[in-house]
Amino acid sequence: MNIKITGTGSYIPQGVEKNEDFYSHEFLNADGSIINHPNEVIIDKFQAITGIQERRYIKSELLNSDIAFYAAEKAIVDAKIDKETLDYIIVAHNYGDVKHNSDQSDTVPSIASRVKHLLQIKNPKCVGYDLLFGCPGWIEGVIQANAFIKAGIAKRCLVIGSETLSRVIDKHDRDSMIYSDGAGAAVIEQTTDDGGIIAHESATFALDEAHFIYFGETNHPEVISQRKYIKMYGRKIYEFALNNVPLALKACLEKSVYTIKDVKKILIHQANEKMDEAIVKRFYKLHDMQMPEGVMPMTINKLGNSSVATVPTLYDMILKGELENQEINKGDIIIFASVGAGMNINAIVYKH
């Protein structure tokens, strides 16, 4: 049984927020103290580490479920399927629908139910549910879809990763410049075609690492509000990722019939350019090899970190010829990989 991605779609928001747009922000340390550097210096250092020059934000009238729907619609068209034949709609996200200037997230009904409604799918046996798994959520959704199809309880699934992090960022926190909005979707189904999902690996590290990414208060001590924002311990995450993600990639590859020399592309969560490069270099070092040029496509410089959306949007953009000097051809072995809140790690070895 071969289980493959037969259609992809993505939604890249039109709103572009450049690094220069943050020059007027009042950035503060986590304890509320003043940062003794001008914003130009803070932002230059930020760009050197993350690789981010700009990011995308959705329009004020849109919601996360809207952009998830846009990506889903494109994936269904790309797969050339009848939407009524979908058995599952799995939507990975972390913060639900947060209206512009709202203090509250809305997750009832689920984002998956909202997407199914927007798609106007009549079939009640098409089951929709949400998946909260940090940034690795879309990959975990693909792993679950694969399991459903292998078990014989589904033939065709739609997996979406969608997030609007611009609605949950603290403007007084330097880390707010990392985050962005976006959505990516894929149709996964059983097929007679060669290839598909070869192997996968997932892990949750929660003994000491569970709260490396969390929801916390603003850095500004004079702002009295019940509102919470996405927060993280960046250095701890960096060290955790470097120590654990390469090993997870190696374990996943070893479950397959392929070797490191067979791998054409590694589509890793666009978290931080410096961190991602270090992870992949260490993965190759575990195999006594240098990282090949072009093996790790990046979109973070222009699109920022849109959490669950980074991997599916990256994949869709390459397949649609929208990423310069990058292509994936039939038969290519690629690895999907991610790390994020939980702390969760996962990977898939996939034959295109």
Please report, for the domain that includes residue 297, its CATH number. Answer: 3.40.47.10
Sign of the dihedral through C-alpha 56, 59, 64, 65: negative
Asked which of 157, 192, 227 is the last residue of a domain, the reply is: 192
- Whether residues 183 and 91 fall in one domain: yes
- Whether residues 229 and 128 fall in one domain: no
- Whether residues 170 and 207 fall in one domain: no
Q: Rounded CA gap, 293 and 337, in Å?
A: 18
Q: What are the pLDDT digits (tens) for 42-68?
A: 999 999 999 999 999 999 999 999 999
Q: What are the pLDDT digits (tens) for 231-278?
A: 999 999 999 999 999 999 999 999 999 999 999 999 999 999 999 999
Q: What are the pLDDT digits (tens) for 131-148?
A: 999 999 999 999 999 999
Over residues 6-26, mean pLDDT: 94
Question: To the nearest whole percent, how much of the chain has pLDDT over 70?
Answer: 100
Nearest C-alpha neighbor of 162 from the set 122, 111, 197: 111
Q: What is this structure's pTM? A: 0.95
- Whether residues 168 and 288 fall in one domain: no
Task: Give me the pLDDT at residue 32, please.
Answer: 83
Q: What are the pLDDT digits (tens) for 145-169?
A: 999 999 999 999 999 999 999 999 9
Residue 49 DSSP SS3: helix
Asked which of 145, 163, 192 is the last residue of a domain, the reply is: 192
Task: Give me the pLDDT at residue 36, please.
Answer: 85
- Whether residues 184 and 214 fall in one domain: no
Q: Which residue, chain included where needed, has tokens 């078990």?
A: 151
Residue 206 is part of which domain span? 198-351
- Whether residues 182 and 202 fall in one domain: no
Average the pLDDT over each of 184-188, 215-219, 310-314 and give the range with the smallest value: 215-219
Task: Give me the pLDDT at residue 223, please.
Answer: 80
Task: Give me the pLDDT at residue 103, please.
Answer: 83
- Whether residues 173 and 277 fall in one domain: no
Q: Which long-range contacts (CB under 8 A, 24 or more apart) does 236-241 make?
A: 236/209, 236/212, 237/212, 237/213, 237/275, 237/339, 237/343, 238/272, 238/275, 240/205, 240/209, 240/212, 240/339, 240/343, 241/271, 241/275, 241/279, 241/339
Q: Rounded CA gap, 278 and 176, in Å?
A: 22
- Quickly state the pLDDT bin for 28 (edges 50, 70, 90): confident
- Whether residues 127 and 255 fall in one domain: no
- Whether residues 74 and 164 fall in one domain: yes
Average the pLDDT over each of 192-196, 204-208, 334-338 and give the range with the smallest value: 192-196
- Whether residues 211 and 313 fall in one domain: yes
Task: Give me the pLDDT at residue 51, please.
Answer: 93
Which H or E element spans position 79?
A: helix 64-79
Q: How many domains does the chain have?
A: 2
Asked which of 171, 192, 213 is the last residue of a domain, the reply is: 192
- Whether residues 147 and 88 fall in one domain: yes
Q: What are the pLDDT digits (tens) for 107-127?
A: 999 999 999 999 999 999 999
Query: Does the pLDDT value for residue 224 go beyond 80?
Result: no
Over residues 83-107, mean pLDDT: 94
CB 337 within 8 A of CB 351: no
- Whether residues 148 and 254 fall in one domain: no
